[in-house]
Amino acid sequence: MTSIPALPPGPERFAERLIAWQRAHGRHDLPWQATRDPYRVWLSEIMLQQTQVSVVQARFEPFLQRFPTLRALAEADLDAVLAQWSGLGYYRRARNLHQCAQQVWHEHDGIFPRTQQDLQRLAGIGRSTAAAIAAFCFGARAAILDGNVKRVLKRAFDLPDTLTDARLWALAEHLLPNADLDAYTQGLMDLGATVCKPSRPHCEACPFAADCRAHLPGGANLERPRPKSAPRPRRVQTWVLLLARLGDAVWLERRDSHGIWPGLWCLPRHDGIGEALAQAHTFGAVLTQTARPTCLHPLTHLDLRLAPIEVTLTAAAHPAVDDTADHAGWFKLADALALGLPAPVRALLSIIDR
């Protein structure tokens, strides 16, 4: 274990006070709480990575209804998993989720490993996520250290931003209590998410308000409200989406395994209307073409301006089909909506006949 650096004093009885605060003021009504079922806890932890709690709350139970058990998820087709994941974003998590379920089912007889180290060997489970599962499900004495927890510790002990992750992990492990690991772990999550926020923290509601080093006079690690500056302009990328319709079928193509929406089924993407119509003409005679309303779809690093162009083709058309049916094809609308689709494409297909 990495040695703990010399640190300025911090809150006394840190774990004890945090546990008491969590039980009195923490979150207790989230749908994945009040259980030690590793399947539910693991699913919630993966969903919560880089996704707001409110979004996960709306999607957690529907996902469980579709895949109520680890076996159901492990034996499901990946497209079905991606379809149920639609709207949660960061679709690589869904593929890792599916792979992890298969690993646990086939390599561990359907039983999740109990230790942080063994959990980390599964697809999509990092050190902090493994610790959360081990603590919540098995009472393991394992430390979490996500972005929220780093912020709590840096402020409570007024640690410099230059402190290495190795040092932070050492501190996180040193602070672990010998009991009530689930309440302590949940308390760290709750405090970072609801009180010790990146900006405008609610220090008056913090259990460490009296001795948080950053909150005391001279503390350097508490971000005070700053005058708002003009936001940096976001990079915008325009995609023309071809919505080609042949009777009650639409043409979809699976995206590459890298880049935006990796591995999802999508309407063909083009740089301009002319390019999109050129593809449409390879399918047959175009009867009508209609520009659908554009929409702006925000991603982490840019905004996608999506401009759908809808074309209807003659029923006698002989569409060109990709050599591999796994990568392109005509789908009846109901079948298309059962695939893993990006959220804006799903929304478009859901209303085309209204």
pLDDT digits (tens, 9 = 90+) for 218-256: 665 555 444 555 667 788 999 999 999 998 899 999 998
Same structural domain, 134 and 92: yes
Q: Is residue 228 part of a domain?
A: no
Instruction: State yes or no: pLDDT of 213 exceeds 70.
Output: yes
Q: Using 50, 70 and 90 to split pLDDT, how confident is the model at 89?
A: confident
**Rounded Cα gap, residues 10 and 158, in angstroms:** 8
pLDDT for position 262:
87
pLDDT grade, residue 172 (50/70/90)? Answer: very high
Q: What is the mean pLDDT of the chain?
A: 89
The CATH number that applies at residue 329 is 3.90.79.10
Contacts of residue 48, Cβ cutoff 8 Å, sequence gap at least 6: 56
The whole-number average pLDDT for the span 99-113 is 97
- In this structure, the answer to whether residues 25 and 145 fall within a common structural domain is yes
pLDDT at residue 21 greater than cutoff 50: yes
Amino acid at 101: A
Q: Are residues 196 and 251 located together in one domain of the fold?
A: no
Mean pLDDT of 279-295: 92
334: amino acid identity, one letter: A
Q: How many domains does the chain have?
A: 2
Say how far apart CA 155 and CA 149 lie, in whole Å.
Answer: 10
Q: Measuring CA to CA, how many Å separate 114 from each of 69, 128, 139, 282?
A: 18, 14, 9, 55
Q: 105: which residues sit within 8 A by CB, 6+ positions away?
A: 70, 71, 74, 75
**pLDDT for 263:** 87
pLDDT at 324 over 50: no
CATH number at residue 186: 1.10.340.30
pLDDT band at 215 (very low <50, low <70, confident <90, very high): confident
Burial 142-170 (b: 16+ CB within 10 A, else e): bbbbbebbbbbbbbbbbbeeebeeebbbb
**DSSP conformational letter for 257:** S
Is the same domain home to 241 and 195? no
Is residue 276 within 8 Å of 209, Cβ to Cβ?
no
The answer on 200 and 57 residing in a single domain is yes
Per-residue confidence (pLDDT) for residue 321, from 0 to 100: 45
Last residue of a domain, one of 183, 205, 227: 205
pLDDT of residue 102: 98
In this structure, are 175 and 265 located in the same domain? no
Whether 3 is covered by a domain: the verdict is no
- CA angle, corner 261, sides to 76 and 328, nearest 5? 70
Beta bridge partners of 250: 245, 331
Q: Which residues are catalytic?
A: 45
Q: Give the CA angle between residues 248, 249, 255 to the nearest 5°.
A: 155
- Judged against a pLDDT cut of 60, whether residue 146 lies above it is answered with yes
**pTM of the model as a whole:** 0.82
Residues 64, 156 within the same domain:
yes
- Residue 228: predicted pLDDT: 56
- Is residue 152 a part of any domain in this protein? yes
Q: What's the angle, vertex CA 232, arms to CA 293 and CA 238, rounded to 5? A: 30
Identify whether 63 is part of a domain: yes
Task: Let me know if residue 6 belongs to a domain.
Answer: no
Q: What is the pLDDT of residue 7?
A: 54
Based on the fold, state whether residues 55 and 140 are members of the same structural domain. yes
Predicted confidence (pLDDT) at residue 97 exceeds the cutoff of 70: yes
The mean-pLDDT minimum among 2-6, 151-155, 202-206, 290-294 falls in 2-6
- Contact status, residue 157 vs residue 151, Cβ threshold 8 Å: no
pLDDT tens digits for range 297-311: 988 788 999 999 999
Domain presence at residue 309: yes
Q: What is the pLDDT of residue 319?
A: 53
pLDDT at 248: 87
pLDDT at position 91 over 70: yes
Residue bearing tokens 């709690």: 53
Q: What is the pLDDT of residue 118?
A: 97
Looking at the fold, whether 94 and 187 belong to one and the same domain comes out as yes
Does any domain span residue 68? Answer: yes
Which is nearest to 169 in space by CA: 221, 113, 130, 208?
130
Q: Is the pLDDT assigned to residue 59 strictly greater than 90? A: yes
The alpha carbon of 242 is separated from its chain's Cα centroid by a whole number of angstroms, namely 28
**Average pLDDT, integer, range 94-116:** 97
Residues 100 and 179 in one domain: yes
- 199 and 295 in a single domain? The answer is no
Domain that holds residue 297: 236-351
- On whether both 264 and 194 belong to a single domain, the answer is no
CA–CA distance, 185 with 209 (Å, rounded to integer): 19
Q: Which residue has the higher pLDDT, 262 or 67?
A: 67
How much is the pLDDT for 99?
Answer: 97
